[in-house]
Amino acid sequence: MKPLISLQSVSKTYRDITALDKVNLEILEGEVLSLLGPNGSGKTTLLKIIAGIEKPTNGEVRFKSAIVNEGNTAQLRRKTTMVFQKTALFSANVYENIAYGLKLRGLSKIQTQGKVKEALAKVRLEGYEKRQAKKLSGGEQQRVALARALALEPEMLLLDEPTANIDPRNVSIIEDALTRVNKQERTTLVIATHNMFQAEALANRAALLLGGRIVKVGLPQEIFRSPPRLLEEYARLENVFSGTSRVTGEGTTIIDIGQGLQIEAAFQKGGNISVHIRPEDIILSVRPIVSSARNTFEGRITEISDLDTLVKLKIYAGKYFTAQVTKRSFNEMQVNMDSKVFLAFKASAVKII
């Protein structure tokens, strides 16, 4: 694949703050590239420079080998579209939100109607045209924002934390839409995220961004083989545990993580390892859990974070675990700070990092 965008020694400073520091990166035509890093690592700034929204303080950006300058920035912007983490929709219905960019580009009413219909189908929002966009759930609003971008048929789509703080169903729909548009239309995707498991599922390559610098580029699996301390630092992962493991006679692995706690995993690997469990893979209950899950613990809630349609809870069970549930489930459990809860997760939910 040929380079679509090339960045050479790109830096960006805001007064005395360096957001990007001598970034060198190639984005290939038709690929899915993930920018991995925590908040403040420079991911959003890098996306804006790639999109032509911001200019680098130093360095050079090339689009299809041509240096990006004031003379051709408008052309770059027509070829690329960016979807921001914080959805900015107009106070209008869904159709008008998606049609806005198409009208600016001079498409006829018939053409616009066709593009809007196709875009809604891609994000599974058929029949939502007349609904007020701002009255939709957070996940549905993000799907409208994605549809608005897809309607423009960009050559490159840039996404800043596209599934942050939305429920699993909407996450699945968005990820499926992105996979389809990449494979079927060969749209180049650049996805900024701190979720390395999403990167593994969607991306061909990943770039690790830390403190404004790209410290590693490669296959997602290569990034994940970085030292555990580095992974914990950049990905600010929750539910990361390190310990000594032994393989059982049943083909699973028992990991002693300290404080008298053991985690059973579906893989086979002995020795010192670090593992991770996604918050959404942890089941919570106010009563003892009876299920096929190999890992069950009892603890107390120490922290509650409201994320619109989701609630994130931190539970101390000898170690701190973070679980994520829907607002409805949280309300049904009727729990509060210091409430006793039971948590469970399958051995297959335990991943090596």
What is the pLDDT at residue 85?
A: 84
Residue type, 272: N
Q: Are 49 and 222 in contact (CB under 8 A)?
A: no
Q: Which two tokens stand for residue 64?
A: 């299809």
> What topology is assigned to 238-352 in CATH?
OB fold (Dihydrolipoamide Acetyltransferase, E2P) (2.40.50)
Residue 249 and residue 203: Cα distance in Å, rounded?
35
| E strands, the chain, in order | 3-14, 17-28, 32-36, 58-63, 66-67, 80-83, 156-160, 188-193, 205-210, 213-218, 240-247, 253-258, 261-265, 271-277, 283-285, 295-307, 310-316, 320-326, 340-345, 350-352
Q: Which two tokens stand for residue 19?
A: 């957001």
| Model confidence, pTM | 0.74
| Placement of tokens 């990820």 in the chain | 175
What is the pLDDT at residue 237?
A: 63
User: How does pLDDT run along the chain (353 residues), one tens digit per residue?
Assistant: 899 999 999 999 998 889 999 999 999 999 999 998 877 889 999 999 999 999 999 999 999 989 998 888 888 888 999 999 877 899 999 999 999 999 999 999 999 999 999 999 999 999 999 999 999 988 999 999 999 999 999 999 999 999 887 887 888 999 999 999 999 999 999 999 877 778 888 999 999 888 899 988 999 878 776 665 566 555 556 788 989 999 998 889 999 999 899 999 999 988 988 888 988 899 999 998 887 778 999 999 999 988 777 888 999 999 999 999 988 899 999 999 999 999 999 999 998 87
Residue 209 and residue 206: Cα distance in Å, rounded?
10
What is the pLDDT at residue 233?
A: 58
| Domain limits, the chain | 3-233, 238-352
H or E element: which one contains 123? none
C-beta neighbour count of 17 within 10 angstroms: 8
SS3 320: strand
Q: Which two tokens stand for residue 280?
A: 């959404």
What is the pLDDT at residue 230?
A: 60
DSSP symbol at 68: P
- Which phi and psi angles does 245 have, rounded to 5°? -115, 155
What is the pLDDT at residue 245?
A: 94
The CATH architecture that domain 3-233 belongs to is 3-Layer(aba) Sandwich (3.40)
Nearest Cα to Cα of residue 337 among 288, 308, 299:
299
Nearest Cα to Cα of residue 190 among 69, 352, 79:
79
DSSP code string of 12-25: EEETTEEEEEEEEE
Which residue pairs, CB below 8 angstroms and at least 24 apart, start in 16-23? 18/212, 19/45, 19/212, 20/45, 20/46, 20/49, 20/56, 20/212, 20/213, 21/211, 21/212, 21/213, 22/59, 22/213, 23/59, 23/212, 23/213, 23/214
What is the pLDDT at residue 289?
A: 83
What is the pLDDT at residue 199?
A: 84
Residue 173 and residue 245: Cα distance in Å, rounded?
36
